Amino acid sequence: MLGNSFGCQVAVELAIARPDLVDALVLVGPTVDPAAPTAAGQVWRWLRDLAREDPRQARILAADVRDAGPRRLLGTLRRSVEHHIDRRLPLVTAPVLFLRGARDPIAPRRWLDRAAGLTPRARVCEVPLAGHNAVTTAGPAVALRAAAFLATVTAQRSQPSGTAASRTLAPPPAEPTA
């Protein structure tokens, strides 16, 4: 299961409610960082992110905002701030890859490191030069890291229970060369 931004909160809830449906989670730019727990804090970070995103995102983001409308945007923002993903992560039993764009101010590295520390089986990885919308602006790099993580999870599942390999997650994949 892969979640992006607010979708990470949805993915976490599915993993908790129906662990039989989730073998692993890839959470890209998970919200909401407890260091910015308010709607104003999230809006400020979103505005900072706009300057760091691929310019081709501007038209897509503008269309999303227009299509959703202010009522839905505010409702989603309110729900995301009220969720407290940090309180839910310790309940996730599936392995988790926390992934972020290296330029993402909405999900900073210190937040992902903290989130991974709250999660029983987790690791953190970054996509160089990407902002918060790494799934759409750096899709191949996100897919590479997600595939490597899933390969590790699958390999560990085949290890005998109780071995060191079955209890730890492998290091992040090597950075792709250009």
Is residue 17 in a domain? yes
58: pLDDT confidence band, cut at 50, 70 and 90?
confident
Q: Look at residue 177 and tell me whether its pLDDT is greater than 50.
A: no
| pLDDT of res. 165 | 47
Is residue 175 in a domain? no
Strands 96-101 and 25-28: parallel
Look at residues 18, 14, 15, 45 and name the one whose alpha carbon lies nearest to residue 31: 45
Q: Look at residue 170 and tell me whether its pLDDT is greater than 80.
A: no
- List the CATH number of the domain containing 121: 3.40.50.1820
Q: Which amino acid is at 166?
A: S
Is residue 95 in a domain? yes
Is residue 176 in a domain? no
Is residue 127 in a domain? yes
Look at residues 88, 134, 82 and name the one whose alpha carbon lies nearest to residue 107: 134
| pLDDT of res. 78 | 86
| pLDDT of res. 166 | 42
Q: Look at residue 61 and tell me whether its pLDDT is greater than 90.
A: no
Q: Which distant-in-sequence residues (6+ apart) come within 8 Å of 123 by Cβ?
A: 96, 97, 98, 116, 149, 169, 171, 172
Give the pLDDT mean for 132-138.
Answer: 93
* Lowest mean pLDDT across 34-38, 50-54, 112-116: 50-54
User: b vs e for 32-44, b when ≥16 Cβ sit within 10 Å of the residue's Cβ?
Assistant: bbeebeeeebbee
For residue 154, what are the domain limits?
Answer: 2-167
52: pLDDT confidence band, cut at 50, 70 and 90?
confident
User: Strand order of the sheet with strand 25-28?
Assistant: 2-4, 25-28, 96-101, 122-127
| pLDDT of res. 42 | 84
Is residue 177 in a domain? no
| pLDDT of res. 55 | 82
Whether a cis peptide bond, with omega within 30° of 0, leads into 32 is: yes
Over the stretch 80-120, which tens digit does the pLDDT of each residue have? 889 999 999 999 999 999 999 999 999 999 999 999 999 99
Total tally of structural domains belonging to the chain: 1
- The phi and psi torsions of 33 (rounded to 5 degrees) equal -60, 125
174: pLDDT confidence band, cut at 50, 70 and 90?
low
Q: How far is CA 22 from CA 69, 86, 121, 122, 132, in A?
A: 32, 19, 14, 14, 24
Is residue 163 in a domain? yes
Average pLDDT score over the chain? 88
| pLDDT of res. 76 | 84
